[in-house]
A = this chain, B = another copy of it.
Amino acid sequence: MNLKELSSLLGLSQTTVSRALNGYPEVSEKTRARVIQAAEAHAYSPNTRAQGLATGHSKCIGHVISVSDSAEMVNPIFGDFMAGAGETYSAHGFDMMVTRVGAEDEADTYRNLKARGAVDGIVVHAPRRNDSRMALLDKIGLPYVVHGRSTGVTTPYSWLDVNNTRAFSEATSYLVGLGHKRIALINGQETMDFAIRRRSGYESSLRFAGLTIDPALMSTGEMTEAYGYDQANMMLDVDTPPTAFLVASIICAAGIRRALDERGLRVGKGVSIVTFDDCLSYFANGGDRPVFTAWQSSVREAGATLAEMLIHRIRAPRAPHDTKLWEAAFVEGTSTGPAPGTSKD
């Protein structure tokens, strides 16, 4: 069923039917009701491509997932982020397109998406320090919002970020307060801006506490379970091993827990773990008995909110940029306790 068929069926012109369905005032409420009823009865939905051609909008948002050779991993937060964003999109009648692309082709992908008119806007994921994507997108005129921020980019843009510096600084102080002096940082890849921020929060709290910043206790890599396991084992094998781990992802924290368990170290007694928690739906860490002491922020809500921001941006491209800095919430779990040998102990 298309417009032509529907309108001839109703004995009306295509114009009138189109206007009736799109809520234009030039049509009487009586005909509008008749049209809407007929449209529903025949399950008519306007052809997306034709509509897009005529209006110049695609009503579609792009998500570009770039996969570098060094980071073949699929980010575990991906699913939850999409779920959140998808909810917002469908509420607003937008489609969601996801493109997987090698990191080296990312810029071309954006240009192509724009040239083809495939999307009305995009979400920029995992911004790096001095990320060049914002300038590119500004240049080609494709609306966007950023999940995170990019230090070094001075032109304004819309973003939503978690206060990572603060979260990691507080987490470090929290461990210091428990008497820990050897605190390891198992960080994400420090090509990403948020990972750099996390480290700086960690370092500043160590400095404030008068503790030495030991490169041997800091590592950066893909946040997999295996990575956490490996790093924990390596660090525990040295002379003065850490008594606490500060971790960038709950997946990674699970790996660390495994290493500790295997060594017979009691998590929360001998060794403490604090982690950042993205509130992944399949790895819950909340309710009445959180496993890990954590600073948490829902990536799913971030997805929903960023989607909302982007849609606003598309509707009002000249509106001032919107920025949101969310504070992570503290949850005390059972994975932390006083450092061994502390007076309290």
**A residues apposed to B, CB below 8 Å:** 1, 43-50, 52-53, 58, 60, 65, 67, 72-76, 78-80, 82-83, 86-87, 89-90, 95-101, 111-112, 115-118, 222-226, 251, 254, 257-258, 261, 280-284, 291, 300
Contacts and interface: CB of A to CB of B under 8 A. Distances in A.
Contact of A78 (B50, B79, B222): B79
Contacts of A282: 73-76, 222-225, 251
A289 B45 CA distance: 54
B258 A43 contact: no
Given A72-B281, A98-B98, A99-B86, A116 B225 contact: no
A100 B74 contact: no
A117 B76 CA distance: 31
Contact of A257 (B90, B100, B222, B258): B258
A97 B100 contact: no
Contacts of A100: 82-83, 86-87, 89-90, 96
Nearest to A300: B74
30 contacts: A1-B115, A45-B112, A46-B116, A47-B53, A48-B49, A48-B116, A48-B117, A49-B50, A49-B52, A49-B53, A50-B53, A53-B53, A67-B83, A75-B282, A76-B282, A78-B79, A79-B79, A82-B100, A86-B98, A90-B100, A90-B101, A224-B281, A224-B282, A225-B254, A225-B282, A225-B284, A226-B283, A226-B284, A251-B282, A257-B261
B79 A76 contact: yes
Contacts of A86: 65, 98-100
A251 B82 CA distance: 20
Nearest to A112: B45
B95 A95 contact: no
Contacts of A74: 79-80, 82-83, 280-282, 300
Given A75-B282, A79-B79, 16 more contacts: A45-B115, A45-B116, A48-B58, A49-B50, A49-B52, A49-B58, A73-B282, A74-B83, A74-B281, A76-B79, A76-B282, A78-B78, A78-B79, A87-B100, A98-B98, A224-B284
A279 to B, nearest CB: 11
A45 B117 CA distance: 9
Contacts of A72: 281
Contact of A44 (B46, B47, B115, B118): B115
Given A99-B90, A283-B224, A43 B111 contact: yes
